[in-house]
Structure 1
Amino acid sequence: MDKDERQELIKQLESANPRNKAYFGIFQYGGGSDESYIKANVQGLELFAATMLKAVSQFDQACAKNETIDIAQYTDDWVNKDSTTSIDYIEPILEEIEKPKLEYKQTTLDKLVPMGCFSVLILAVISGIVGFVTIVNWFLSLYNQSQ
């Protein structure tokens, strides 16, 4: 998307969504940041999208000056003041950051589970064989008693 298309989209989003009807907030319902959610209506989400697009427009200039992009100035009147999380600025980066790969280390329990499942399977097969032999012997004993 080029700069002109982006500016046109920002204008469309802002003109179609009156700020007095927009609602947007980021809240935390538990003890950590992984327990967060956004509470918003359509107008609030679209105004937030316009705010992010404005940040994109300032991205190159902020990177060149090694500055942050202040987005709080665009969200003063339509973001819920009781939000537990607020995003005031964006810190732009040029290089791509590689996400750390989480290595899974096998625990003792992980090693025991397949052995336990195999043991239960063997026990079920042995129980099935013993039960089958017992039923056959029972039928044979009934047959022998009848003669």
Structure 2
Amino acid sequence: MLGLTEQFPIQCEEALDIATRFAQTLPDRRKPKNIVVTGLGGSAIGGDLVRVLVDLGGDVPLIVNRDYDLPGFVGPDTLVIASSYSGNTEETLTAYAQARQRGSRLICVTSGGKLAQRAREDGVPCCLVPDSRPPRASTGYLFIPTL
């Protein structure tokens, strides 16, 4: 695990390349009214890091949701980022479905699983990250695309 942690800077460089290519494919670049990153465990850490940066000087509110249900304010003016390294986290999949029902703008960050499959089927932009390490050692891959 220590070896994987020591590779964090390299992981961030790779993630920046992945995220840059992904961002160029996004059809909707309008500024959202608010942002919700939904995920659990290691998959939510990227959202926590972005929230700290937003709190330091961002002008769009961002919260991290670690629950099945999205906050009541989530709607069409909200950007929801569904983050699940495995793509199979039940809570994230449930929140993803709610975001779709509410007409939210939606982006996924995952290495695959059901989340990638649903995003593909629904035409939702999905940033695919490598699945070669444990989720808690993949913080760079989940943080940089969320940023």
Normalised to the residue count of structure 1, the TM-score between the two structures is 0.24
Normalised to the residue count of structure 2, the TM-score between the two structures is 0.24
Larger helix share, 1 or 2: 1
Larger strand share, 1 or 2: 2
